[in-house]
Structure 1
Amino acid sequence: MAESPRCAVCGRALRDPASRARGTGPVCDRKTRIPRLPAPRRPALPPYVDGRPIDDVTSPLF
């Protein structure tokens, strides 16, 4: 995004270089920011798979 001298949300003058690069002021940025969702958690593995300890089981995912 090109630097803008005015906030894209409310139109106020932007003084901070980071705000200009973002295109919104700090207050409008907090009000309009999409909350970041936590990363999905992996399901817990059972201690045994097919009668063998989980450490002995090889998987292409690990």
Structure 2
Amino acid sequence: MWYYRSKKDDSEVIEKLNQLAESHPTRGFDEYFGRIWQQGLKWNRKRVLRVYRAMKLGLRRKRK
């Protein structure tokens, strides 16, 4: 049998989310997605949310 293999390449999304998380560590997903959208990157909200959750950015980070 043959099974479908996903061809997802989310490296650009991961890179952008890392960049935003480093520059604005206390913001949430809505803020990050809004900034991505304003920059003209028309990625699907579901895709960005899936990557955001996989990176475990939804966990609260401690502030100094």
TM-score normalised to structure 2 length:
0.23
The structure with higher relative contact order (CA 8 Å, sep 6+) is: 2
**Structure ranking higher in helix proportion:** 2
**Structure ranking higher in strand proportion:** 1
In our comparison, the structure showing a higher alpha carbon Rg is: 1
TM-score normalised to structure 1 length:
0.23
